[in-house]
A = this chain, B = another copy of it.
Amino acid sequence: MVAAEPVSIQSPAGIRIAKAPSIATSGVIPKENGPLDRMGRVVPFNRGSELYSQLEPANYLYQLISGVAQAYRLTADGHRQIVAFYLPGDLFGFEVGKNHTLSVEAITYARVRLIRSSTIMAAALTDEEVAHQLWISLAHEVRRNQEHISRLSKTARERVADFLWEMSKRFPNDGTVELPMSRLDMADYLGITIETVSRMLTRLMEMSVIKISRARKITIQDPGLLKRLAT
C-alpha cells in the first residue's frame, strides 16, 4: 500500500509551504459539485511534493480540487518531459497496467481528491452520472494530449504563443495570467530550452503581443495576434 497515506508522508497538514512565491493561483475557482464530490477523500499536497510516481502501483484516481500539478516522465538519460499540467477539476491517474507510467507533482499547494479506482469503477456501473463524469474527464484528457501533440510539431515561437493562449483560457482572469510554473517547467513541457522560452517571450513582448510585469505575471495585450501567432 505504497500510496495509501500520501498525506502523512509527503505533506503533513499544517506545514508551511516551502518557498511559496506570492502567486495568486489559489484564486482559480475550484470546479464544484461533480458526482464524485462524495467519494474518496481530499488530501493536501505542498508545492513540490509528489502525488504519485512512475512505476508506483496505480490504485487511485486523482481529482484536482485546487492548485496546479504537472505530470512528467523521466528518461534514462536524465531528460524530463512534462506531459501535462493539471488544473482544478481535472481527473487523472487512470492507467491501463498495474503501475503508473508518469509521475505527478504539485507545483503549487494543491488539494486533491483521491478515489480508489475499484470504488469509482463500481460506482460507474450503477450511477450514470459517475459514468458520464468519468467519460468526459477521460475524453478531455485525450483531447488535451492530442492538442499538445499538435503543439509539439510547431516552431518555438508558436509553441510559446500557443502555451500562453491556452493558459489564458484555462485561467480565466481577464487578460492577465499568473503562471504557476517556472521557465524550466514550461521548457520541459514545450520540448524546448529555457533560453528559447525566454527569448520567445521577449520577442512577443517586443511585438507588444504581451506585457511581462513580473517573470510569471503576463498580460495578453493583443489576443488576436497571439492566437494567430499560435497558428
Query: CB-CB < 8 A to A136: which residues of B?
Result: 96
If A83-B150, A95-B139 touch, whether A231 touches B125 (CB-CB below 8 Å) is no
> Which residues of A133-149 have CB atoms within 8 Å of chain B's CB atoms?
135-136, 138-143, 145-146, 148-149
Extra A-B contacts (17), CB below 8 Å, given A83-B149, A149-B152:
A75-B150, A75-B231, A94-B139, A94-B142, A95-B143, A96-B143, A102-B146, A124-B131, A125-B131, A138-B138, A138-B142, A141-B142, A142-B145, A148-B149, A152-B153, A152-B191, A153-B191
17 A-B Cβ contacts within 8 A?
Answer: A71-B146, A73-B146, A75-B150, A75-B231, A81-B150, A96-B136, A96-B139, A96-B143, A102-B146, A121-B131, A121-B135, A124-B124, A125-B128, A138-B138, A141-B142, A142-B145, A148-B149
